[in-house]
A and B are shown apart, each in its own frame.
Chain A
Amino acid sequence: MSPFGWALVERSARLLQGDDQESVLGDLTEENQSAWRGLFEILNLFFRRQAFLWWNLKPWIAGFLVVLPSSYLLMYVSVSVSCTYARLVYHKLLLGKAYTGPEGYFLLLCHIFLLLAWSWVAGYVAASLSRRTAWVSVALAVATCSWYSPQTTWGDLSIPRILFFLFVPPALLGLWQGFRGVPVTRNVAALLAIAITLLMIIAWSRNALWSLNWLLIWPAWCLVTIAGKPSLVAAQTN
């Protein structure tokens, strides 16, 4: 195998986990396979492993029941928080009245807390449920945000586009912590879920919560069911 071919094979082998990388590259060296054959073998194994992961329900739940709806809804929540903030602090109406209502400072703080909590929980739960398919979850979030990009669906943009993505930093933090297996105790998860539920009820009772936002409650309670379980740590190898 030429040095260039071998470099290509070694680079593609990074797609595999540590032990797989070691044994597959060793096997290919021992069998003196060509670079193309080696590349084919590695990609074949990688795609089989990825396909195998999707036989489990967890990646589907993480991607399509947590990340997809959360990223779509949290974009709207980000805009709503920005508009309320601009109205209260700068006395400016951004994007008309559609994204801000009768909220005062208390409800603004409620919304800010909810935005941070919803985003972090969604990221953490998605990564905890299925670490090795976390990249698919990220791709789904990016696709959702691109599909509903501000330019195409929000009409006249009078606010910086970054305000549509306020949810991204806490979501990425949650994703990273879930990915690293940072433990969350059942008590902390329950406290967080209860706080989120109470604040949502308060916001809902004052007409300051969009009905679809109730979908954002379920990752928080999902976190309660998976928090503190040994399987959460074991899931890091899945």
Chain B
Amino acid sequence: MDAGSDYYHNVAIIMLGEFEYLLITAASGLGDEAYGASVREEITTATGRKCSLGALYTTIDRLEAKGLLKTWMGNATAERGGRAKRMIRVTAKGVLAAKEFYDAVVRVSRGAAWAENQAGRDS
């Protein structure tokens, strides 16, 4: 394995943080409607916790630098006072990283009381 592929292999297996996972999952669920405010609302609704714009945008930058997200400035809308949205799209690498995180959570949760109860309720 050369240095380049070794680097990308290492990047791919780095586990996401909890908030990074939430952000990627929210953006993925929103699809073409994923941008700063909509992702923030989605995370707040799902977790019941307020997320600050500072945390949101710095995490978006970090994930974009890792190649897990792609962002661009969208069109301005009247609802936003004529200001543009920062649109977000999850890349294939981002999907893979989120799936790895999810699988790891599921694996590590096997045997945990709350996971057993959840499984029982679901079935």
Contact = CB atoms under 8 A, between A and B. Distances in A.
Interface of A: 19-20, 22-31, 41-42, 44-49, 52
Interface residue tally on B, bucketed by range: 20 to 34
B67 interface: no
B58 A45 contact: yes
Q: Chain B interface secondary structure, helix, strand, loop or mixed?
A: helix
A47 to B, nearest CB: 7
A31 B51 CA distance: 13
A30 B80 contact: yes
B36 A49 contact: no
A22 B53 contact: no
Interface in B5-41: 35-37, 40-41
Contacts of A41: 52-54
Interface of B: 35-37, 40-41, 52-55, 57-58, 61, 73, 76-77, 79-81, 83-86
A28 B58 CA distance: 17
A44 B54 CA distance: 5
A149 B79 CA distance: 54
Q: Chain A interface secondary structure, helix, strand, loop or mixed?
A: helix
5 contacts: A27-B40, A29-B81, A31-B37, A44-B55, A48-B55
A49 B86 CA distance: 17
Given A19-B73, A30-B37, A41-B52, A24 B80 contact: no
B81 A26 contact: yes
A23 B83 contact: yes
Contacts of B77: 26
A125 B51 CA distance: 38
Contact of A23 (B54, B58, B79, B85): B85
B89 to A, nearest CB: 15
B52 A26 contact: no
A24 B85 CA distance: 8
Contact of B58 (A19, A26, A42, A48): A48
Contact of A44 (B36, B53, B61, B80): B53
Contacts of A52: 58, 61
A44 B77 CA distance: 25
A154 B73 CA distance: 55
Contact of B84 (A22, A42, A45, A46): A22
Nearest to B55: A48
A27 B54 CA distance: 12
A22 B81 contact: no
Contacts of A24: 36, 53, 57
A20 B76 CA distance: 14
Give the one of A19, A26, A28 with max B CB within 10 A. A26
A31 B79 CA distance: 10
Given A27-B36, A29-B83, A22 B52 contact: no
Contacts of A27: 36-37, 40, 53, 80
